[in-house]
Amino acid sequence: MTTFVQDAINAVYVVAVIVFVLGLRAMSSPATARRGILYAGVAMLLAVVVTFFSPSLSNFALIALGVAIGGLGGWYWARVVQMTAMPQMVAVFNGMGGGAAAAIAAVTLLFGLGSRATAGLSLSGAIIGSISIAGSMIAFLKLQGWLRSKPIVLPARQYVNTAVLVVGLGFGVWALWQFSTFWLLPFYVLLLLYGVLLTLPIGGADMPVVISLTNALTGIAVALDGFALVNGPLGDAGYAMVIAGVLVGSAGSLLTVLMAKAMNRSIANVFFGAFGATEEEGTTIQGALKPIEASDVAVMLSYASKVIIAPGYGLAVAQAQGKVRELADLLEQKGVTVKFAIHPVAGRMPGHMNVLLAEAGVSYDKLFDRDEINQEFPSTDVVLVIGANDVVNPAARRQGSPLYGMPILDVDAAKNVIVLKRGSGKGFAGIENDLFYRENTHMLYGDAQASLTKLVQELKKL
Amino acid sequence: MAADLWTALFIALLAAFTGYEVISRVPVLLHTPLMSGSNFIHGIVLVGAIVALGIATTPLEQGIGFVAVVMGAMNVTGGYVVTERILAMFDRSKRKGGPP
C-alpha cells in the first residue's frame, strides 16, 4: 500500500517536472507566455497536493495552517500591489523562497541527518538560502524607497564582509564537525548579516541584476535542500526539488549574465564595485540647463515629422504610461511618426518599460530595442526623454566615467531633445548627465504625469 | 557518497543544460516575466517545506518547519500572481483601452 502511494506520488512529480520545463519554454515566447505560467501553476498545484499524501508525515494541522497563511498572504499581497511595484515584489517572493530553503536546511540539520555529506549539502543550502533572503529583502527595501537607494558604503567593508562570511562559515563547519546544533545559531545570524552587507553597497540601478542573481541562488539553495532530502525517508520529493531548483539556477544565472551584459557591467563589478558611490573627478560640464514650457514643446511636437519617446523609471513612478499613449495617439492623428525607444535596462527591470507600455495599450510594433533604433536618432526631429537618465547619458562614451562602456540610446543625435524630469537631480547611478546641458536639449520640469497631461491639453488646442 | 546522491547529481546536470537551453533565445521583452516565472518555479521549495514540517518532532523543528511552509507558500502564490499579472498585460485580446 505504502509503495503504491509512493509510486503514485512519484508519477505526479515526474509529470510536474515535465510540465515545469514545458511551461518555462512557453514563457520564453510572447505568444505563448501566458499559457506557460498556467502550465507551471497546474504542475505546482499537483506537486504540492500529492505531497500531503506522503506516507509517514505528521503535523498536518500545522502544515495546512502554514500553507493557508503563506498562500493567502502572498496571493493577496501580489494582487493588491501596484504594477509599478512589481520588481520589488519579485524580490520579496524570491526572498521567501530563499528563506524557506534556509529553514528547511535548519530542520534537516537539527535532525542531524545521517552522513556528513548530507549535512554538508544542507549546510550549503542554508548558506545560499540565507544570503538570498537577506539580499532580496535589502533589494526590496531599496526599491520600495524605505532604504536609501544610493550605495551605502561602510568603511573597510571588503574586510568586514569577508570576516563575517569566514567566521559564519567557520561556525557552520564547526557545527558539522561537532554534530552540535548549538553553533548553527551564530552561523545563521552571520550568514544573514553577510547577505545584508553584500547588498547594501549596491545602488538601486543595479537591483535588477541583484534580484535576478538571488533568484538563481534561491534555485540552487532549493536544489541543495533537495539533494539533502534525497537521502532521507521521503527522498523522492527531493528529486523534484533538485530538478526545479537547478532549472531555475541555470536559467536564472543565464538571465543574470544577459542583464549584466545589457548594462555592460560584470557581475563582480555589480557586487563589489559600490557603483555610483564615488564621483567622477576632473570633469566639468559646460553650458546651462534650459527650461522649456509645455506649450512650446506641444508646438515643436506637432510640427515634427518623427518623434521618438525614450521612457525610463520616472514614467513608472508617475504612473504616466496611459498619458504617454494618449500623447502618442494624438501625434499620430496629426501625421507624426511616433516610435518608442526601449533601453534594455530602462526602469528597474529588463523589460519593465515594455510591460508598462503594454499595460497602457501601446502596440508592440512601436517599441524598438536600442540596437534597432539607435541609427534613427539623427533623422528624428524631437526625442522625448521621460524620466530616463542613465540610459541616455553620453558620459557612457567617455573613458573614465563610471558609466563608461554602457550601451546607451544615442538621443543626443536628434535635432531636439526634451527631457521630462521632476527636478535637476541625478539619475540612479548618481552621475551628472551632460545630455541635459547640450545645445539641443531642453528641460520640461515636473512630474511626468502632470507634464504629459499639460502636453496633451496643449496639443489638443493646436 | 550514497548512490542516491550520484543519481541526483546526474539529474541536476541534465536539468542545468535544460534550463540553459530553454532560456538562451529569449527576447529582452520577456526577461522580467521570465525572472518572475522562474521565481515561481523555485516555489517547489514548498514541497520540501511540507516534508520538513511533516517529519519534525521537537517544538523547535516544528517552529522552523512552520516558518518554512509559510515562506514557501508565499513564494508559490505570490510568484504565480505577479507573473500572471505581468503576462496578462501582453495579452492582446483582454487589453484595457484596446487599440482605438
Which 3-state string (H, E, C) describes A174-241?
Answer: HHHHHCCHHHHHHHHHHHHHHHHHHHCCCCHHHHHHHHHHHHHHHHHHHHHHHHHHHCCCCHHHHHHH
Q: Mean per-residue pLDDT for A24-53? A: 89
Number of cross-chain residue pairs from A and B with Cβ atoms under 8 Å apart = 400
Q: Which of residues 59-98 of B touch A (CB under 8 A)?
A: 60-62, 64-91, 95-98
State the best of A59, A110, A261, A349 to mutate against chain B, taking most chain B CBs within 10 Å: A59
Q: Which residue of B has its CA nearest to A23?
A: B37
B78 vs A29, more confident: B78
A183 vs A100, more confident: A100
What string of DSSP letters covers A39-98?
Answer: HHHHHHHHHHHHHTT-TT---HHHHHHHHHHHHHHHHHHHHHS-GGGHHHHHHHHHHHHH
Contacts of B78 in chain A (CB under 8 A): 74-75, 77-78, 89, 92-93, 96
Asked if B38 and B44 count as a contact pair (C-beta separation under 8 A), the reply is no
**Which residue in B1, B16, B82 is closest to A93 by CB distance?**
B82
Contacts of A59 in chain B (CB under 8 A): 53-54, 56, 62, 65
Range among A115-119, A230-234, A440-444 rated most confident: A440-444
Contacts of B65 in chain A (CB under 8 A): 59, 62, 103-104, 107
Radius of gyration (Cα) for chain A, nearest Å? Answer: 25
**Interchain proximity B70–A69, CB inside 8 Å:** yes
Q: Mean per-residue pLDDT for A192-204? A: 88
- Quick one: pLDDT at residue A182? 84
C-alpha dist (Å) from residue A281 to A115, A287, B43: 56, 18, 46
How far does the CA of residue B3 sit from the closest CA of chain A (Å)? 9
The residues of A annotated as belonging to the active site are: 390
Average pLDDT, chain B: 84
Q: Mean per-residue pLDDT for A309-337? A: 88
Q: Identify the H or E element spanning A250.
A: helix A235-262
A18 vs A280, more confident: A18
Q: Identify the H or E element spanning A296.
A: helix A294-302
**Interchain proximity A103–B75, CB inside 8 Å:** no
Contacts of A128 in chain B (CB under 8 A): none
- Quick one: pLDDT at residue A280? 46
State the best of B9, B45, B66, B93 to mutate against chain A, taking most chain A CBs within 10 Å: B45
- The cell numbers describing A270, all together, are 555589480
- Quick one: pLDDT at residue A151? 72
**pTM of the predicted structure, to 2 decimals:** 0.80
**Interchain proximity A212–B90, CB inside 8 Å:** no
A204: nearest Cα among A132, A153, A267, A275: A275
Per-residue pLDDT reduced to its tens digit, A205-254: 778 888 999 999 999 999 999 988 887 766 788 899 999 999 999 999 99
pLDDT > 90 in chain B, percent: 52
Task: Let me know the angle formed at the C-alpha of A249 by A244 and A253, rounded to the nearest 5 degrees.
Answer: 150
- Quick one: pLDDT at residue A25? 87
Helix, strand or coil for residue B14? helix
Confidence of residue B100 (pLDDT cuts 50, 70, 90): very low
- Quick one: pLDDT at residue A272? 75
